Amino acid sequence: MIIGMIYMYLLYALVCSSVTSTSGETLSWKLDTVPAVFGEDVQLSCFISNYTSRANMNRRWSIRRNIHGITLNGISRYPYKYSEHMDKKIGVSTLRIHNFSLHDVNIIYECAYGFLIDRKMLILSKFKFEKHPQSLLKATVETDTECTCRGNVTLENVFPQPYCKSTLNKKDVTLPYFQVNTEKRGLFFTTDIKLVYTHRDDVEMGKWIVVCDVGSKRIVVINETMNCTLNGTMETRIDIQRVAGILSVCFLMSIPFMCLMYVLSKNNNTKLLALLHNCYQKKRQGPKDSLKQHRKTDEEMALQNDVEGVT
């Protein structure tokens, strides 16, 4: 008898569900928060057609394959995790999932109102879900004396797979200086970024920026002012430039003399040799005349002293 009554009740429920479905009354839920960010609150909205014209019936949210109830008519079984609000004017039941985590995705959610039921899985998708890094690991930047920049950054537990690029003084230096290694660990990704770049321009300072896009969120992982000096310190480079300038001037001044010597050598080698010999003799004669003049001055001073002594 009891079994027969249960069978009749299930048959009645099936018939009623079939009738309400064919009469144009429907129910369906969808992800209302896009993108759904892990660690934040996420909402599912259940739309109940012709809600105001129907008699009040029980509404409920359930999860997983075993239809585990979490809310009933606005009362939550786990208030710190789930809460439900019903907008009777538009016929929308909103389930709020607090602190959305990896345990809340890839599972079945069921919205029900009376005999109307919509039951489907909330599937992880790179177009609707995001997991931002909580912290940057191993974020290091180094610059050596050869103006070679080395950077290392690790983004842990992110979703979807990040896209990163690097600029130096607004110049794209992503390729071929970027090395990105991404591994999927469970549902999320861990990305290790390495950059080795040698600055070749004659610039001592540069703005080095590395940004990564994780879904719709752009994260600045490196924002450093690079100071570098090629081939030694600034003072050394200035001294080298001064010496180079002096040598250049000396070389330019010697060109006319070299041209004159070349012309004379072409015209008459004897005259050239005589000219060089005269220059040499004059150079020697100068010191000799100077020596004679010094000796004459000394003799005059000695003679003057003798005269004064006699007096």
Same domain flag for 151 and 36:
no
Same domain flag for 118 and 38:
yes
Task: Name the residue among 148, 145, 150, 142 with its Cα closest to residue 199.
Answer: 148
The string of pLDDT tens digits covering residues 104-124 is: 999 999 999 998 999 999 999
One-letter amino acid of 206? G
Residue 290 belongs to a domain: no
Number of domains in the chain: 3
Domain holding 171, by residue range, is 131-227
Task: Name the residue among 245, 188, 254, 195 with its Cα closest to residue 222.
Answer: 195
- What confidence score (pLDDT) does residue 268 get? 56
Same domain flag for 143 and 37:
no
Same domain flag for 135 and 65:
no
Q: What is the CATH number of the domain that holds 41?
A: 2.60.40.10
- What confidence score (pLDDT) does residue 196 get? 83
- What confidence score (pLDDT) does residue 117 get? 95
Same domain flag for 73 and 175:
no
The string of pLDDT tens digits covering residues 56-104 is: 789 999 999 999 999 999 999 999 999 999 998 999 999 999 999 999 9
Same domain flag for 209 and 275:
no
| Under-50 pLDDT residues of the chain | 1-23, 231-240, 243, 310-311
How far is Cα 62 from Cα 34, in angstroms, rounded to an integer? 21
- What confidence score (pLDDT) does residue 153 get? 85
CB of 157 within 8 A of CB of 190? yes
Same domain flag for 263 and 181:
no
Same domain flag for 107 and 21:
yes
Same domain flag for 192 and 263:
no
129, 155, 180 - which closes a domain: 129
Same domain flag for 6 and 124:
yes
- What confidence score (pLDDT) does residue 294 get? 55
76, 96, 129 - which closes a domain: 129
Q: Which tokens sit at 150?
A: 């080395």
How far is Cα 25 from Cα 33, in angstroms, rounded to an integer? 25
- What confidence score (pLDDT) does residue 173 get? 81
- Distant-in-sequence, close-in-space partners of 147: CB < 8 Å, separation ≥ 6: 198, 199, 200, 226, 228, 229, 230
Task: Name the residue among 115, 103, 114 with its Cα closest to residue 64.
Answer: 103
Residue 305 belongs to a domain: no
Looking at the chain, the number of H-run helices and the number of E-run strands are: 3, 19
How far is Cα 186 from Cα 89, in angstroms, rounded to an integer? 42
Residue 74 belongs to a domain: yes
Residue 182 belongs to a domain: yes
- What confidence score (pLDDT) does residue 210 get? 86
Pairing outcome for strands 178-185 and 136-143: unpaired
**Strand ranges inside the chain, DSSP E:** 27-31, 36-37, 42-48, 59-63, 68-72, 75-76, 82-87, 92-97, 107-113, 116-122, 129-130, 136-143, 148-158, 163-168, 171-172, 178-185, 188-198, 205-214, 217-227
- What confidence score (pLDDT) does residue 311 get? 39
Same domain flag for 138 and 192:
yes
Same domain flag for 193 and 249:
no
